[in-house]
Amino acid sequence: MNVVARNVAVARLWWSASAAALLLVLAVLAAIFGFVFIKGIPALRDPAIFVTVTSGVAGGLANAIVGTIMLVAGGVLLVTVIGIGTALWVTEFAPAGARRLLRFVIDVLAGVPSIVVGYFLYVALVVGAGWGFSLAAGAIALAIIMLPYVVRAADLALSGVPRGLREAAFALGARPVTVAFSIALPWALPGILTGILVATGIGLGETAPLIYTAGWSNFMPRLAFTHAPVAYLTYVVWSFINMPFERSHALAYAAAALLMIAIFVLNLVSRTAVDYWVRRTRGRR
């Protein structure tokens, strides 16, 4: 076989291999989705699952659903304030060196394993500060996990504010604070919002930082920040699948399917709704 023929044959072979790899990955993805939905949807058909609390390893998921919403809402609230504050300070007010340092620290924080964050908060807050397993500790854990995503998105969005826009505002005599809050922030808002939605999806799917901060409870979460453990959906997926009961397995699959649906919807919203919003508002200007 001459060189050209061999090279062409090799190319064909490898292109087939790469196509096969792509198909393999899509097949595995389809298998995971199919598996979760086929097993999870039947259990979700029964509306009782949304209104009954888990009793031991049976019952419904009401407490876990409400707990997940409370924990993620708490985390998102915290991370929105801290994340946007950090990004605003760095892009608008801080000296140039601070920005590089912050980006470095955010990268480091993004690399910290979530269980390390969870264990740190367990030692510091749950035991150290005596909060016990609680909503506050869990929400703080989620906020720390989400922080890098929000700060990066906000930093990127704020850096994208056109220079001319800022200069025009300054030329009109605006103070730096006015420029930051009335010019830069509104302009960057869609980008920041996308970051927050992505972070919300991450928070929904987290387990490791919650196990030793939020704990687990068979009851509806109370509106207490400390001394009250909170249930959450990922815990159900993790622990109920190892129980020997049919009902616990059904609950685990149902929780997994619910989480996937929620994350799917969040992704869809962050892709389409935010785009639509940007086009509408920018279009009008």
Partner 1 sequence: MIAGALVFVMMVFLIAYAWPAIRFNGIGILTDPVWNIGNQYGSGVEIHNGIAAQPGAEFGGAVFIFGTLASAALAMVIAVPLSILVAIALVYRVAPALQPLVNALVELMAGVPSVVYGLWGTVILVPWIGQRLGPWVAEHLGGIPGLRGDPGSGNGLLAAGIVLALMAMPFMVATVRDVLLAQDRALFEASMALGSTSWQAVTKVLLPSVRSGVFAAVLVALGRALGETMAVLMVCGSALNQFPQNVFQAVNTIAAVIVSQLDSALTDASGMAQRSLAELAVVLFIITVGVNGIARWILHGMSSPGTVRGA
Q: Which of residues 135-194 bind partner 1 (CB under 8 A)?
A: 144, 147-148, 151-152
Query: Which is nearer to partner 1, 63 or 169 (by Cβ)?
Result: 63
**Candidate residues 69, 263, 269, 273; the one interacting with partner 1 per rule CB under 8 A:** 263
Scored b (16 or more CB within 10 A) or e, 246-258 reads: ebbbbbbbbbbbb
Report CA-CA distances (Å) from 248 to 108, 212, 230. Answer: 38, 22, 19
The C-alpha angle with vertex 51 and arms to 45 and 56, in degrees rounded to 5, equals: 95
**Candidate residues 27, 38, 116, 165; the one interacting with partner 1 per rule CB under 8 A:** 116
Min dist CB 79 to partner 1, Å, is 10
Residues 269, 255 contacting (CB under 8 angstroms): no
Residues 203, 263 contacting (CB under 8 angstroms): no
**Candidate residues 70, 180, 211, 228; the one interacting with partner 1 per rule CB under 8 A:** 211
Q: Binding to partner 1 by residue 27, rule CB under 8 A?
A: no
Q: Binding to partner 1 by residue 245, rule CB under 8 A?
A: no
Binders of partner 1 among residues 93 to 112 (CB under 8 A) are: 101-102, 104-112
Binding-site size, partner 1 (CB under 8 A): 73
Binders of partner 1 among residues 29 to 58 (CB under 8 A) are: 29, 31-32, 35-36
- Give the CA count within 13 Å in the CB-facing half-sphere of 188: 31
Cα–Cα dist 63/216, whole Å:
10
Strands (E) in the chain, as ranges, are 54-55, 58-59
**Candidate residues 27, 28, 38, 224; the one interacting with partner 1 per rule CB under 8 A:** 28
**Candidate residues 141, 154, 184, 237; the one interacting with partner 1 per rule CB under 8 A:** 237
Residues 6+ apart with CB under 8 A from 148: 106, 107, 109, 110
**Candidate residues 19, 51, 77, 168; the one interacting with partner 1 per rule CB under 8 A:** 19
Min dist CB 161 to partner 1, Å, is 17
